[in-house]
Amino acid sequence: MRFINILMFSFIFLNTAVAKLPELQTKQSLNNIRYLTHDGKFTYYQQHSGELQLSTNYSNSNVIKSQKGTSYNIFGTSKRKNLIIEVRKSFHKNLNFFEPNDLYALKLGETKPFKIGSGTAPQLNINDSWVTYFNTSNQEIVATNIQNPKKSRSVKVKNKVNPYFIPQSAMATQDTLFYTDINDKGYMALIMHSFIEKKFTTIFKSNFPGMRLDFCIQGEKVILGEFTFSSLNRGSSIYNIDLYSNPNFKKVNTIYTSELDDIGNLTCSQDEIYFIKTIDYNQTINVKKTEVAKISIKDNKLEIVTDLNYVTNVINMDGTILVPFRNKYYVAKGQSVLNKDELKNEKK
């Protein structure tokens, strides 16, 4: 049986009054921005014509030209070396969940992307040198070396229960892949696969069927959130698990737990863990009050960040923590005013 070392069951909310978060201010329309650096130096945005462009240093440059109506997603990390662009050509016309999208790699601040594969849910890993993504056509997670796209590996997921399931994936080294999967009984698990040993190891299995796992790798630990839906009433938990000196991953440290069903959407930064927490739930009318919460990695203290009542998502964009809410973006961490003409020197 897995040994769980419970650090704390509840948290004391030190701040009962939450400060109002500033709105993000940019030169470009927020609806068009796809990636914005924390200092406002580089802005990748899309046009209605189907073009993806880069705005920097008082000039605009084309990055990708595609058909009208194309929508783009851009993914980066704190390493700030490469970006991954997901091209969704029929986003407004064909809602085909299983259609793989073209994926391109691009150096941050540059305009010459190159194709690395087709799929969705890309994740940069290992100092931005590898990318993992999910190929919906053959139900495989693919790991590709950005410098050598032909150097790729794949693992087929076993999920047969949820046809709309998209696994998370990440790499700690070029020989180990971490990913989520669902067994035939509906239990989700975080699994580690060794490409060298061709071995699969279950790191964590959900306590009940129907639970959802979110995770991120922070140094030598995995931060793992276990969340559920309101109909299950199973509560929520967040754990950290040592990747090394932890035989068979039997030691699991609980850093947060709640009897309420949090939305989750776990998002990690260098010093904090952000997620969508359920503050109150009225079962009679099935209404939740949800806010962004953060947990300090250093001391496990929890703090409620927003006061918006119905938050559903939180985003880490180049170190800036954004809270999308009713056509606005609020800044939970980072600089909010990025529409000044002066370009600030990037901190070294």
Number of residues assigned to the chain: 348
| 81 contacts: CB under 8 Å, gap ≥ 6 | 107, 108, 127, 128
CATH number of 1-29+206-342: 2.40.128
Q: In terms of Cα–Cα distance, which of 297, 307, 304 is closest to 277?
A: 304
The class of domain 32-162 in CATH terms is: mainly beta
CA–CA separation, 124 and 130 (whole Å): 6
| 105 contacts: CB under 8 Å, gap ≥ 6 | 82, 83, 84, 85, 113, 114, 116, 131, 146, 149
Mean pLDDT score, 148-172:
93
* Contact by Cβ (8 Å): 215, 226: no
Q: What per-residue confidence (pLDDT) applies to 18?
A: 64
Q: What per-residue confidence (pLDDT) applies to 172?
A: 93
pLDDT digits (tens, 9 = 90+) for 182-222: 999 999 999 999 999 999 999 999 999 989 999 999 889 99
DSSP calls for 15-81: -SSPPPPPBPEESS-TTTEEEE-TTSS-EEEE-TTSEEEEEETTEEEEEEE--TT-EEEEE--TT-S
Each domain of the chain, given as residue ranges in start order, spans: 1-29+206-342, 32-162
pLDDT digits (tens, 9 = 90+) for 315-340: 999 999 999 999 899 999 998 887 66
Q: In terms of Cα–Cα distance, which of 302, 292, 293 is closest to 324?
A: 292
The residue type of 85 is I
What integer best gives the mean pLDDT of the chain?
88
Q: What per-residue confidence (pLDDT) applies to 149?
A: 84
Q: What per-residue confidence (pLDDT) applies to 285?
A: 81
The three-class DSSP label of residue 149 is: coil
Mean pLDDT score, 70-86:
95
DSSP-derived pairing of the beta strands 221-227 and 236-242: antiparallel
